[in-house]
Structure 1
Amino acid sequence: MELPYEVLVYLFKYLPKSDRKAASETCRAWYLAANDQCFLKNKVAVFFKTPLTDELVSPLNIFEESPIIYYNYLFNEVEISNKQNDFWNKMGEHIKCLTLRNCDICEKVFVYMLQKCTNIETLNVQSCKELFMSGRLLEGKTEGFLTHNLENLKSLSLSGNQYLTDALFNRFISAAPALEELNLSACSLQFHLGLVKKFYPPSINIFQNPSESVLTFYFILQLIISRAEKIKRLQFSCTLIDGAALKSLSEVQDLKLESLQVHSCDQLTNTGILALTSHQTSLRELDIGLCTRVTDQSLVHICNNLVNLEYLNIQRCRAVTDLGISELHKLTKLKSLNISQCELLTKEGLENGICKEENKRLEELDINSLNLDQTGLIMISERLPNLRSLNLSYCFNAVTDTSIQVIFKNQLLLQTLKMSHCDKVSDAGLTGMGKVEAEGGEDRPIMSNYDDAHATPRIHLGSRAEEEIVRDARRKRDVMRMCEKLSMDSYTGYSLARMKSLKELDIGGCNRITDVSLTYAFNFRELMVLNLSRCQQITYVGIEHLVKNCPSIEYINLTDCYNLNDEAVKEIVRDLKRLKQLELRGCNQLTDKTLEAVRMHCGKLQFLDVQGCRNMSPELACSIGSLPTLHTVLMSKPGPYIADGQKNRAPAPAFLPALMRKLRLH
């Protein structure tokens, strides 16, 4: 008995995207249900390094003939020519969102695309410098068909285009009367008043005579003034916008911004931020990360005035101290906060700010590289119970086996956990094995502070590194014994396995992690992204348990895990059916058997990194590029090689041009 279509759609709504995609491959009925209209609005068809010029095998033909109509398309590093005109003829009217990123496309083809995309709402043209180089793009077109075709355009991104000018920008804007979002990040915006006087004398009408030489903030500001009631979201990241420019933008009459991103703008000062907080009080998202001139003064005004803020990024605003962070408790609607790399922040600032009282609204927190101790992290874990994403990377002193036990106890809703390079974490913390007796006779979980207190005192004659190796070996042995002899009379702490919702885990550089953790603490049915780079003690034994208990992994990083062999990789590629990205850089035990296993079992692999795997044949590594889904292979430069004490200086093999597009030699 088959389930009705409506029932299937209802059930699929409870599945994550990856599971829904896997379910769609079961049968035609499930395929159609998984591609219902309620799911398609967020689906994107991605063409990355895909040859589109061959009419016989072009992947565009699949979408032309498919019964499912996709609304969103992304073309990244591909060549688009007039040979794809049939695709735009058939599918153009259905496209809602179109993104061209680093694409090779000429003006005539681009205009033809826009002519056919009559209902487009989002247009992203990023880093397509050849398209803007002549300065004639859309010339004479905006008064014709484009005015009608782009009347529904709400979001326009022209980021990363260094040849963009006022004239080119004006042609896009004049054809899009309903525009709400504008992204000019990484464009060569000019703010100098001398340029404005040169190109726009007082008597000239700037909209009738826009400059064909430069892109000026003055022109963009005048356009925003003319459409102030409609513009809601702006992005000027990686530009030279300064305090004066942001002040003039903030003071535009009738402008009510909801989102502003000025990430990596070194010239931005407190003057602009103060004006922004005074006039744009409706802001819900603000990104001023890597704006090094921002100080506590700005943060105090943000917290006092932007009471509707839900997302705030002040990454690496190094002048911000505990004085400013203490004001964060005033942002009662804040859901996402990034305060990473702010070197002057301490536990006291967080305690008076986001941890002043229990905060059930905050869902995402990035405290990467903060100078905290483990008591600070324990406080965060206890005061923020509803976190979905937590980044603790490079918090060397805060992330210990003691503190992560508290995280495993309280943060059961976490979907993303990053604690890269926190080398104090060991198997004892991840598995929660053992016990210690706290004051008052209460038991609490033991962490990795094994100091062999009960061992017979003796003088160690080896180096400090050798002594650490011996201590790690004993620690691993003790935790393994506890895991194997787990019974009712042995105390178990809080294991990583408690976090059933985990989808992304980064423990790269945590070199005390061994096969014990992979065997007893990894059991995640929804885990998709896993970083185990530089976890050099893991072997085939741990990988064998990992792939069985975490079957949904799509991206796995095993860089510099030099104890892994071919059998371990064979387990990975054979049992992880959804694997898309595999990084094996520096795993120098791997041989051609690994490549053969990849060729045999990886039906969905898109990215492979085998740099530094010196026992692999470069010819075989190149031939892997023939896999239909694989778009990138990273490998070391072939030759010269040493065999029997003699260098082999044979020339590198001749590769097919189609394969060369997939390969990156380092």
Structure 2
Amino acid sequence: MDLPNEVLVYIFKYLPKSDRKSASETCQAWYYAANSYNFLKNKTVILYKTDLNDDASPLQTFENSNIIYESYIFSEVEISNKLNDFWEKNGENIKSLTLHNCDIREKVFIDMLQKCTNLEILKIENCKDLFMSGCLLEGKSEGLLTNSLKKLKCLSLSGNQYLTDALFSRFVKTAPDLEEINLSGCSLQFHLGLVKRFYPSGTNIFDNPSESVLTFYFVQQFLAFRAKNIKRLLFSNTLIDGSALKLLSETEHLRLQYLQVHSCDQLTNVGISSLSAYQLHLKVLDIGLCTRVTDQSLVYICKNLTNLESLNIQRCRAVTDLGIAELQKLKKLKQLNISQCELITKEGIEKGICSQENAILEELDINSLNLDQHGLTMISEKLPNLRVLDVSYCFNAVTDTSIQVIFKNQLLLHTLRLSRSDKVSDGGLTGMGKVRTEGQEESPVMSNFENSIANNRIHLGSRAEEEIVRDAKRKREVMHMCEQLSMDVYSGFSLASIRGLKELNISDCNRVTDVSLTYAFSLKELVNLNLSRCQQITHEGIKHLVKNCPSIEHINLTDCYNLQDDAIIEIVKGLQRLQNLELRGCNQLTDKTLEGIMTHCKKLKFLDVLGCWNMSPELACSLGVLPTLHTVLFSKPGPYITDKVKNRSPPSLSFPALMRKLRIH
């Protein structure tokens, strides 16, 4: 019996995005259910590095589709007048349009926007050619867009170095309901001398905006004029300083909810003080990589901005425990990034976010902090509702003991990053590190180092030998315990406990072996996995990984030297949803891997085989025929040198039109 569409839509609400996409390929009824408006409003069509002007343009699919998509991203493509039919048919349905690093002419841009009459979000990022002449939207062109941008809420012109006051004015004048403006990475000028030069006393700046520079003075005057509507501002990677932020914060009627000033080196406590005194409605504040921010800034923020839900102070290196302790005052905080703040210790965190059990905080980034394992254990016990946790590069904090506490308490995690956790081994990931079989006693590890001393022999590199023997013995013990106790019976705290995990990064954890992949990786919803530089994994572990984690779409196996062709064949056969595959530096792989990819990968978009010297460049080039593949990274051929003799010349390559997809290094 066929289920009604309403019932299918209700069921699909409980499926992850990837599962819903796969379900849509089953039959027509499921396709329409998976593309119900409930899901479509959150879907985006991404057209990246593809030829939109030929007869087989992917846009034809959307022109003829009965499904209406409201959001489009064009990235690194050429947009010409050959696409007029697409804009004619679909333009009025598009609410969000992004052009990133696109090749587009002014006339084509005007014609395109005229057809998009219901735009709410417009992002024109890094499209320098479009702004270079300074004539965009000049004269009649500006009037033509009055109807197109009347509903616009968000305007992003980030990364456009040729943006001027005049160009900015032409965009914002035709968008009366703007709520968000993004000028990140633009050449905003703050010097008062420039203002006096281009806007002499008595000049009406809105009648005569400068066609030479983009000044903060003009932008601030516009914000003052539209203050009641503006809610979100982004000025990252600009020269905004304390005085400019103070002027902005004190703008009458301005009630910001979102402010991003990431990587603004000139920003000082003066600006933060004014911001926290006047913009009391802020919910999101990003001042990461602002090196002049100190504890005093955090005191101001935590005292006044009590509505904050997200705070980023990444690499604000002057912040210490004194400032972090103030975070206890932010009762609504859901997202916190305090990574790379070298002066923060366990004591500050204990007085701040861990002063009591915190059920509100959901995302925490503490990578590169100077913590020990007791500090991480405290964090895990005090923050039970974390969804995202990044403890990468916390060398002393992440151990087999502390991660088992994470596996015990953070059962709601969907993202876990443990990069460069040298002390993590199979015992921690499987939960078998503390288990002994009945009647056995734990015996000390006997190493070659100790034996060599007993025999009065001296071994060069003896510490390395000792560590290798310890790791080998530990691996055998954990494997033996795993074989005796199935994970269903054993109630230890292993990675498998976090059943909803979607992203896992354990790169540079070189003590992780096939034992973990076999017994700890039973994660049905895992989508993104980074195993780069986990050099002990082999085909045996990959075989179990593919079987137990079928939803993987992105896998990074960079510098996993022990992987051979059979392991990659296992991956491309078993992971039907695979989109990104990174094999850089896996120097045992051969053309057999490329042949397997060509045969089995139906959805692959990105492939990195740099440093795989046994692969043929010609065969790597031929992968361009895969319809979904947009980027292949591979190495130049030769010269081939053995015994200090160049024995043959590199093979000649014939590069077809498909080479626009490929990058040779």
Aligned partners of 2:372 and 2:397 also within 8 Å: yes
Aligned partners of 1:154 and 1:179 also within 8 Å: yes
- Residues 156-235 of structure 1: matches in 2 within 5 Å? 156-235=155-234
Tell me the distance in 1 between the aligned counterparts of 2:525 and 2:136. Answer: 46
Q: Secondary structure at 1:616's aligned position in 2? A: coil
- Residues 250-289 of structure 1: matches in 2 within 5 Å? 250-289=249-288
Partner of 1:32: 32
Partner of 2:12: 12
Letter in 2 for 1:146: L
Tell me the distance in 2 between the aligned counterparts of 1:524 and 1:656. Answer: 41
Task: Tell me the CA shift for residue 184 of structure 1.
Answer: 0.2
Tell me the distance in 2 between the aligned counterparts of 1:614 and 1:450. Answer: 44
Letter in 2 for 1:44: T
Aligned partners of 1:70 and 1:95 also within 8 Å: yes
Aligned partners of 1:434 and 1:491 also within 8 Å: no
- Residues 405-484 of structure 1: matches in 2 within 5 Å? 405-435=404-434, 452=445, 458-459=451-452, 461-462=458-459, 463-484=462-483
Residue by residue, what CA displacement relative to the aligned partner does 1:492-512 show, whole Å, maximum 9, x if unpaired? 531110000100000000000
Q: Secondary structure at 1:655's aligned position in 2? A: coil
Letter in 1 for 2:602: G
Partner of 2:346: 347
Q: CA 1:450–1:127 in structure 2 vs 1: closer, same or farther (change >3 Å)? A: farther
Task: Tell me the CA shift for residue 467 of structure 1.
Answer: 1.5
Task: Tell me the CA shift for residue 647 of structure 1.
Answer: 3.2
Aligned partners of 1:434 and 1:490 also within 8 Å: no
Q: Secondary structure at 2:297's aligned position in 1? A: helix
Aligned partners of 1:387 and 1:411 also within 8 Å: yes
Letter in 2 for 1:258: Q
Tell me the distance in 2 between the aligned counterparts of 1:592 and 1:141. Answer: 58
Aligned partners of 1:434 and 1:492 also within 8 Å: no
Partner of 1:57: 56
Partner of 2:42: 42
Aligned partners of 1:512 and 1:537 also within 8 Å: yes
Tell me the distance in 2 between the aligned counterparts of 1:108 and 1:154. Answer: 24
Partner of 2:95: 96
Work out whether 1:521 is the aligned partner of 2:514: no
- Give the TM-score normalised by the residue count of structure 1: 0.96
Q: CA 1:51–1:384 in structure 2 vs 1: closer, same or farther (change >3 Å)? A: same
Q: Which moved more, 1:453-462 or 1:89-98?
A: 453-462
- Residues 535-546 of structure 1: matches in 2 within 5 Å? 535-546=534-545
Work out whether 1:69 is the aligned partner of 2:68: yes
Q: Secondary structure at 1:600's aligned position in 2? A: helix
Tell me the distance in 2 between the aligned counterparts of 1:82 and 1:114. Answer: 12
Tell me the distance in 2 between the aligned counterparts of 1:596 and 1:535. Answer: 25
Q: Which moved more, 1:280-289 or 1:485-494?
A: 485-494
Partner of 1:548: 547
Q: CA 1:263–1:332 in structure 2 vs 1: closer, same or farther (change >3 Å)? A: same
Aligned partners of 1:435 and 1:493 also within 8 Å: no
Which ranges in structure 2 are unaligned for 5 or more consecutive residues? Answer: none
Letter in 2 for 1:476: K
Q: Secondary structure at 1:100's aligned position in 2? A: strand
Q: Secondary structure at 1:70's aligned position in 2? A: coil
Q: Secondary structure at 2:233's aligned position in 1? A: strand
Partner of 1:106: 105
Partner of 1:571: 570
Aligned partners of 2:449 and 2:466 also within 8 Å: no
Letter in 2 for 1:95: I
Q: CA 1:607–1:490 in structure 2 vs 1: closer, same or farther (change >3 Å)? A: closer
Aligned partners of 2:68 and 2:93 also within 8 Å: yes
Task: Tell me the CA shift for residue 485 of structure 1.
Answer: 1.2
Partner of 1:399: 398
Partner of 2:147: 148
Letter in 2 for 1:465: A
Partner of 1:21: 21
Letter in 2 for 1:647: N
Residue by residue, what CA displacement relative to the aligned partner does 1:113-152 show, whole Å, maximum 9, x if unpaired? 1100000000000000000000000111465231121100
Tell me the distance in 1 between the aligned counterparts of 2:168 and 2:355. Answer: 47
Aligned partners of 1:581 and 1:605 also within 8 Å: yes
Tell me the distance in 2 between the aligned counterparts of 1:127 and 1:489. Answer: 53
Work out whether 1:81 is the aligned partner of 2:74: no
Q: CA 1:31–1:347 in structure 2 vs 1: closer, same or farther (change >3 Å)? A: same
Partner of 2:663: 664
Task: Tell me the CA shift for residue 435 of structure 1.
Answer: 2.8
Aligned partners of 2:400 and 2:433 also within 8 Å: no
Tell me the distance in 2 between the aligned counterparts of 1:346 and 1:454. Answer: 36
Tell me the distance in 1 between the aligned counterparts of 2:484 and 2:66. Answer: 56
Task: Tell me the CA shift for residue 5 of structure 1.
Answer: 0.3
Partner of 1:367: 366
Residue by residue, what CA displacement relative to the aligned partner does 1:71-95 show, whole Å, maximum 9, x if unpaired? 0000000000000011001100000
Partner of 2:496: 497
Tell me the distance in 1 between the aligned counterparts of 2:298 and 2:305. Answer: 10
Task: Tell me the CA shift for residue 431 of structure 1.
Answer: 0.4
Tell me the distance in 1 between the aligned counterparts of 2:133 and 2:30. Answer: 49
Q: Secondary structure at 2:529's aligned position in 1? A: strand
Tell me the distance in 2 between the aligned counterparts of 1:188 and 1:279. Answer: 27
Aligned partners of 2:142 and 2:170 also within 8 Å: no
Partner of 1:332: 331
Aligned partners of 1:431 and 1:517 also within 8 Å: yes
Task: Tell me the CA shift for residue 451 of structure 1.
Answer: 5.2
Letter in 2 for 1:351: E
Letter in 2 for 1:224: L
Q: Secondary structure at 2:145's aligned position in 1? A: helix
Equivalent residues, number: 655
Tell me the distance in 2 between the aligned counterparts of 1:435 and 1:283. Answer: 47
Which ranges in structure 1 are unaligned for 5 or more consecutive residues? Answer: 438-442
RMSD: 1.9
Aligned partners of 2:393 and 2:419 also within 8 Å: yes
Aligned partners of 1:503 and 1:529 also within 8 Å: yes
Q: CA 1:543–1:620 in structure 2 vs 1: closer, same or farther (change >3 Å)? A: same
Partner of 1:440: none
Q: Secondary structure at 1:573's aligned position in 2? A: helix
- Give the TM-score normalised by the residue count of structure 2: 0.96
Aligned partners of 1:500 and 1:525 also within 8 Å: yes
Tell me the distance in 2 between the aligned counterparts of 1:471 and 1:124. Answer: 55
Identity of paired residues, percent? 71
